[in-house]
Amino acid sequence: MSADSAAALFEATFGRAPDGVWSAPGRVNLIGEHTDYNAGLCLPIALPHRTYAAASPRDDRLLRLVSAQGDHVVELSLDDVAPGRPGGWAAYVAGVPWALERAGHRVRGLEVAIDGRVPLGAGLSSSAALECAVGAAASDLFGLGLLDAPSTRRALAAACIDAENTIARAPTGGMDQSAALLGTSLHALLLDCRDQHTEQVPFDLAAHDLALLVIDTRAEHALVDGQYAERRRSCEQAAQELGVPTLREVPPARLEERLATLSSDLLRRRARHIVTEIRRVEQAVEALRHDDFGRLGTLFLESHASMRDDFEISVAELDTAVEASVAAGALGARMTGGGFGGSAIALVPAARADRAQRRVAQAFSDRGFRAPDSFVVAASGAAQRER
Ligand code: ADP
Ligand code: MG
């Protein structure tokens, strides 16, 4: 178990047993992509893959940090944490007590040993799993009570978002930290990014002889940062031209008529994706509430086509994962996450999951792509104390 290996790394590094071990999950988004910064809806699940943080408090303000996935021990004072400092992976850890302090909580230094079992950089949110495991540890060790209720968990998520945005300097919308702190087993989390309202939506695929396959394409693409910024800018410009604060406020009825007033075809396509994607999240929730998995699969496929053709964030590896899954009997499949690589998901009859995995691997090999990594996941639980 990784809780044990995080504790063992702690002992080997700091020469004593940790006070406790905490964990937080990665996440995969079922539907609702690039909707977070448009005040829209998304629908992530917490993954069974978790990041473990073994930790003890210190009496002074020193942070001593080590990770099984990092190269060396990082030491710095809480007073020296700042945007870009420390750099690298330690920013995601040190940023959390820094952000808690900025939010008015009393914290001190920490010794932390990390062992992460969420694939890094696969679009499955290893970064939020890391922040939220550390946040859970800090909350318990400093008696902050932030794991007690959904409302306090939201406050902890806000601190973890601040850590990632300000100290690690990665712009993220907040879906990842919400999933890691509020996701529950066998449920998807409907997150309204306009007012942070959340709702648990039943998502027990095994009870319906279905499975969710995650396909990590392991594709690497350059120039992604500029692409993300362009999408955000286009969405803002489209909203401005339509005279609304965000694209969330564009009603889906008579959409084409409204989009016709935009100044370019590019803006039309970007806005069309966002407005239809938010609508698809609502429809996916309806489908789940009625156990209509055929409909959910169709919505996955419509979502993928919208991201491929209108939002233009897919790549050949993601399209191949979707097409091969469908050819192997998936009810639907789509790329998930920001795009330009990362992972796809496929909704498959449980009995066909193996076949779908083989078929995807074969399709990648036929096209000369790097071998993908795929696994079946169930919706799992949020950040918690392990021991
Ligand atoms: P994602 O969140 O999709 O996995 P990100 O680029 O947002 O991708 O975050 C990945 C980064 O998070 C890694 O490059 C590393 O800096 C940090 N990270 C995540 N998990 C760990 C870990 N277990 N140990 C050290 N660093 C980690
Ligand atoms: Mg991340």
CATH number at residue 25: 3.30.230.10
Give the pLDDT mean for 136-147. 98
CB atoms within 10 A of CB 244: 14
Q: Is the shortest distance between the CB of 51 and ligand 1 below 6 Å?
A: yes
CB atoms within 10 A of CB 350: 14
Q: Are residues 197 and 215 in the same domain?
A: no
Q: Is the shortest distance between the CB of 130 and ligand 1 below 6 Å?
A: yes
Compute, in angstroms, the gap from residue 121 CA to the centroid of ligand 1: 6
Alpha carbons 183 and 379: distance in angstroms, whole number:
8
DSSP codes joined into one string, 274-320: HHHHHHHHHHHHHHHHTT-HHHHHHHHHHHHHIIIIIS----HHHHH
> What's the domain count of the chain?
2
Give the pLDDT mean for 169-185. 93
Which amino acid belongs to residue 103?
A: A
Give the structural domain span for 138: 3-203+381-385
Alpha carbons 22 and 136: distance in angstroms, whole number:
6
- So what's the pLDDT on residue 94? 98
Asked if residue 345 lies in contact with residue 333, where contact means CB atoms within 8 angstroms, the answer is yes
Tell me if residue 195 is catalytic.
Answer: no
Kindly compute the dihedral angle of the four CA atoms of residues 258, 262, 264, 267, in this order, to the nearest 10 degrees: -80
Give the pLDDT mean for 328-349. 97
Closest CA to 215 of 308, 307, 319, 310: 319
Alpha carbon 214 to its chain's center:
13
Which amino acid belongs to residue 387?
A: R
Compute, in angstroms, the gap from residue 16 CA to the centroid of ligand 2: 31
Q: For residue 317, what pLDDT band results from cuts at 50, 70 and 90?
A: very high
pLDDT digits (tens, 9 = 90+) for 321-334: 999 999 999 999 99
Q: Which long-range contacts (CB under 8 A, 24 or more apart) does 297-302 make?
A: 297/330, 297/331, 297/332, 297/333, 297/347, 298/331, 298/332, 299/31, 299/332, 300/31, 300/331, 300/332, 300/333, 300/334, 300/345, 300/346, 300/347, 301/326, 301/332, 301/333, 301/334, 302/276
pTM, two decimal places: 0.96
- So what's the pLDDT on residue 221? 73
pLDDT digits (tens, 9 = 90+) for 1-56: 799 999 999 999 999 999 999 999 999 999 999 999 999 999 999 999 999 999 99
Among residues of the chain, what percentage have pLDDT more than 70? 99
Q: Which two tokens stand for residue 134?
A: 């550390």
Mutate to test the pocket of ligand 1, among 127, 221, 343 (most ligand atoms within 8 A of CB): 127
Q: Are residues 146 and 166 in the same domain?
A: yes
Q: Are residues 355 and 306 in the same domain?
A: yes
Q: Are residues 108 and 217 in the same domain?
A: no
Q: Are residues 221 and 251 in the same domain?
A: yes
Q: Are residues 117 and 138 in the same domain?
A: yes
With 70 as the cut, is the pLDDT of residue 308 above it?
yes
DSSP codes joined into one string, 84-116: TBS-TTHHHHHHHHHHHHHTT-----EEEEEEE
Q: Are residues 220 and 71 in the same domain?
A: no
Closest CA to 122 of 204, 27, 46: 27
- So what's the pLDDT on residue 222? 65
What is the chain's mean pLDDT, rounded?
97
Q: Are residues 254 and 242 in the same domain?
A: yes
Ligand 1, atom nearest to 128 Cα: 2
With 70 as the cut, is the pLDDT of residue 342 above it?
yes
CATH code, domain with 356: 3.30.70.890
Q: Is the shortest distance between the CB of 364 and ligand 1 below 6 Å?
A: no
Which amino acid residue places its CA nearest to atom 12 of ligand 1?
127
Q: Within the chain, how many helices (H) and strands (E) appear?
A: 11, 13
Q: Are residues 52 and 146 in the same domain?
A: yes
- So what's the pLDDT on residue 223? 58
Q: Are residues 235 and 323 in the same domain?
A: yes
Q: For residue 70, what pLDDT band results from cuts at 50, 70 and 90?
A: very high
